[in-house]
Structure 1
Amino acid sequence: MQQPQRKDQMSIGREIEDIARDLIKHQHDHPPVRDLNREFDRKLTFTDRVASDFARLVGSWVFVLAQLGLMLLWVLLNALSVLRHWDPYPFLFLNFVFSLEAAIWVSVVLMALNRQADRDRMRAQNDYELNVKAEEELKALMNHLMHQDEILLQIVNRLDRGDREMKRLARRLEQVLEANAEASRPPQTPQGAPASPVSTPAQPERPLGLPTP
């Protein structure tokens, strides 16, 4: 009787050790979370940083207002008759400057967009790795829960068997106690039956003429 119980306890202990071993192994399978922004900024060269700063400047209201102010000043200075006109109407030199500036800024912005695309590609790869890691974590968690369910089911089955055995022993004990109580109980006489006469010891006869004590 003790050997099956010992085997069950050993099997439960092995299951718990396997679960703990799987948890420890799973915790060390994956590298820590990376800071993509810091890694990407560390890989940028000096020209990349300059291009990013210029692209950030071009996409701001400061640059737009500065360009508008320079254009108005250029037109006013060339429209007034007081000063010497270095770019008279229709302002061909101004158009040439704007075209050259637009070509340069477009190239700079495209460089910045390429770097942004590289950053987005790195983020997408990191998101994919995180999704794979989360899927593996969920699989491991489900396996651990399945192991725990099996152990809990074994414990519940043993408790159920123990409960049934205790109930059986309790019923058996009640039957034994009732049998002992009936055996030790005195027999009862039926009602209306005459009681058995009590016999008294006979006294010896006295001879005549002797005084009574």
Structure 2
Amino acid sequence: MENRIKHILLTVLPFAGLLLVPAAVSAQEDDRPLIEPDVRPQKVDEALIDTENFEIGAFAGIINIEDFESSFLWGGKLTYHLSETFFFEANVGFAEGGETSFEKLAGDVQVLSDEDRDYRYYNINIGMNVLPGEAFLTENYAFNTNFYLIGGAGATDFAGDTRFTFNVGAGYQVLLTDSVSIHLGVREHFYRIDVLGEEKTSMNTEVSGGLSVFF
């Protein structure tokens, strides 16, 4: 009796296995979508920041020297990128103060000599990239971008004196290539001054743009 049961099992099990294999194959085939999407990946060339951490550049723009008109501004900067988010930046800028309203009304009166109108600032700042993104020139080419906040302290030489100055601002960086970028920025410079009488806090607004190179 026992031998007969073994004989039956040995006969039936191979046929059961043959039946299960097509069922499993059919189940796998059923998981396939009815329509295969024809999706081809689009190659996009984009400029990335090089592995170099230093960046050197030049900038130019306009600075509004409070009480002394708006003047052409130019200067240079050196930046060290601590990480993808944070960076340190050293700046030096040059401009020339104009005439005050009193000087324009009074005629020959001069509040400052020509030499004292020379305006120069230098500062060290820390910046933070807060909104990295992309700007597309065409559908096949993209520029990496960064919107950043920056602030720091330094000094301003103006009106025959050196004045402690702190500044805050924001900027927008566009990477043209792996090692070249352009910047657009706005900053506010604050220092104490008493040239026109009572001492007050002077707020000087700077709007500038520039070109820099990673090395």
Same fold (TM over 0.5): no
Going by fraction, where is strand more abundant, 1 or 2?
2
Larger radius of gyration: 1
- Higher RCO (CA-CA < 8 Å; seq separation 6+): 1
TM-score by length of 2: 0.21
Going by fraction, where is helix more abundant, 1 or 2?
1
